[in-house]
Structure 1
Amino acid sequence: MLSFKGYNINPIQLKDAWSLCDFVAANEDHIKRYFPKTLEQNLTPDLSKFFVEKKVKQFALKEVFLFTIKEDESGELVGLVYIKELDWDKKQGEFAYCIGYPFEGKRIMTKAINTLSEYAFIHLGLETLQIIVYKDNIASVTVAENCNFTWIKTLKNEYAPLGENFLQMELYELYKEIET
């Protein structure tokens, strides 16, 4: 559906269940803090199949949009991007994303978020996109900043990783430019 140099972005598909299970298993330590539900729901191929079926339905109903990022050459799943917390009245959605260990630092997620921001503004009709990150998650903060998201404010007690206290998270936003 969407692509940038060497990678493609597609809505989650039923055929992605097995590769999603592999991706989660290979990156468990990397994603468990911020994606515990995704991890928990993809620990086995059967769980992944159920998860993907649910996400395909949610995509069709415009409740949550889950995209895969894959390498063109190998077809390997390298990352996930959610557009979630959709408020159709406000025309607002929030990005959540993760990338596999071997693909960190290659600006893949920056390119994916730029590509999907344009998609969200043009094809979904959203006007405000958000990224909520923990300030110490430097890679995620860098993605927000490199994609021209503006820091808005600190959100107190916004998110508590499993077994941890609540964290203060940083809210970044990007707005669709209104042409006059």
Structure 2
Amino acid sequence: MRFDFDTFYIEPIQIQDAWNICNFVTANEDRLKRYFPKTLEQNLSPDLSKIFADKKVKQFKLKQEFLFTIKENQPNNLIGLIYLKSLDWGRKQGEFAYCVHYGFEGKGITSQAIKILSEFAFETVGLESIQIIVYKTNYGSVKVAENCNFTWIKTLEKEHTPPGEAPMDMELYELYKEIE
């Protein structure tokens, strides 16, 4: 499975992505430490990234969590990660979490990828609602939610605690499958 758009593509994580994920995470460490501390700590070395990639490939196959990579067509650089996580099969709901390389932010790449993966989540995975949970001053992530027609629902009090910080209130956005 591969989704192409512009000069980029999205595909499920693969074992051979481990080295590129390690490079991506270490290059974007400052950006990831607040909102993706677990991804960061699990990818600080090539050996850790191999374990991470292997685990995420298995979770994808078992439909426990879906991790996608965003890559440039040429030269095949990994420029972002998108998780479809927190799957609640009873409610048919999941949550997107995403991060993009600092050199590619503000270009609409993540918005395009989320639009594509929203359709995948509804049509292939069978979800009926998808959430995005963001910090109010993370303007790039707020813009992705808005660009992709997610609706602000409410503020979630003390929803996320970054390492070494006090708990933060987060904003909940949701998108619902259209009934035809």
TM-score scaled to structure 1, two decimals? 0.99
Q: Secondary structure at the match of 1:174?
A: strand
Structure 1 residue runs without a partner (length 5+): none
Give the match for residue 152 of structure 2.
Answer: 151
Give the match for residue 34 of structure 1.
Answer: 35
Amino acid at match of 1:84: K
User: What CA deviation, in whole Å up to 9, does each residue of 1:45-70 have, x standing for no partner?
Assistant: 00000000000000011111000000
The whole-number CA distance in structure 1 between the counterparts of 2:42 and 2:161 is 19
Q: CA deviation at 1:86?
A: 0.1
The whole-number CA distance in structure 2 between the counterparts of 1:4 and 1:118 is 14
Instruction: Tell whether 2:15 aligns with 1:14.
Output: yes
Instruction: Tell whether 2:163 aligns with 1:162.
Output: yes
Q: CA deviation at 1:30?
A: 1.0
The whole-number CA distance in structure 1 between the counterparts of 2:139 and 2:106 is 11
Q: CA deviation at 1:162?
A: 0.5
The whole-number CA distance in structure 2 between the counterparts of 1:73 and 1:42 is 24
Q: CA deviation at 1:105?
A: 0.8
Q: CA deviation at 1:7?
A: 0.6
Structure 2 residue runs without a partner (length 5+): none
The ranges of structure 1 where at least 4 consecutive aligned residues each deviate by more than 4 angstroms after the TM superposition are none
Instruction: Tell whether 2:4 aligns with 1:3.
Output: yes
User: What CA deviation, in whole Å up to 9, does each residue of 1:2-28 have, x standing for no partner?
Assistant: 111111000000000000000001100
The whole-number CA distance in structure 2 between the counterparts of 1:116 and 1:6 is 17
Amino acid at match of 2:158: N
User: What CA deviation, in whole Å up to 9, does each residue of 1:120-170 have, x standing for no partner?
Assistant: 111001010000000010000000000000000000010110011010000
- Count of paired positions: 179
The whole-number CA distance in structure 2 between the counterparts of 1:178 and 1:157 is 33
The whole-number CA distance in structure 2 between the counterparts of 1:133 and 1:141 is 7
Q: CA deviation at 1:84?
A: 0.3
Q: CA deviation at 1:116?
A: 0.3
The whole-number CA distance in structure 2 between the counterparts of 1:130 and 1:178 is 18
Instruction: Tell whether 2:99 aligns with 1:98.
Output: yes
Give the match for residue 139 of structure 2.
Answer: 138
Give the match for residue 89 of structure 2.
Answer: 88
Amino acid at match of 1:73: Q
